[in-house]
Amino acid sequence: MPRTRQHGFTLIELVAVIVLIGIALSVVSLSFSKSMSSAKIQAATRDLVAALRYTRGQAIVTGKQAALDLDIQSNTYQAPGRPLMKLPKDMHLVLLTADSEQTSTTSGRIRFFPDGASTGGHISVRLGEREWRINVSWLTGEVTREETAK
């Protein structure tokens, strides 16, 4: 009796392909998730840097002191004359500033003077394993940001 050749795939081959596709999709989704959190924290720190620079500019232009207020408990900050900004719930703020600028155990400010100088300080923004640090120079009032290694 002659054997006829069957065309098609075996069940084992189909299961193997489905498993490989599942693994590939999980790797891609994990990578996508990490890049989304990276973009999220970068955008938040860019906005915070912009608010600090705006506050410094206001102090210079008006000739009066101006301060950016931060509340680490509610994850909010506010530049003078601007609406209150809230960071996403999964981000965390850490503020290090002059003792005179600590308004409570959970809030404080960074003050800028008309000559551009400031009270100085650091603001850390954390999201999972990622952390960005915003530095404010007390002498020049320059605002910079950097990603810190964990």
* Res 3: pLDDT: 66
Chain position carrying tokens 């004359």: 81
- Run means of pLDDT, 10 residues per run, the chain, 150 residues: 70 84 74 71 95 98 98 96 94 94 95 97 93 96 90
* CATH (residue range 12-147): 3.55.40.10
CA 21 to chain CA mean position, Å: 33
pLDDT of residue 19: 84
**pLDDT value at residue 11:** 83
Residue 103: the pLDDT is: 92
CB atoms within 10 A of CB 10: 9
pLDDT (0 to 100) of residue 22: 80
**65: exposed, middle or buried (Cβ count in 10 Å: 0-12, 13-18, 19+):** middle
The pLDDT assigned to 133 comes to: 97
pLDDT of residue 32: 58
Residue 15 pLDDT: 83
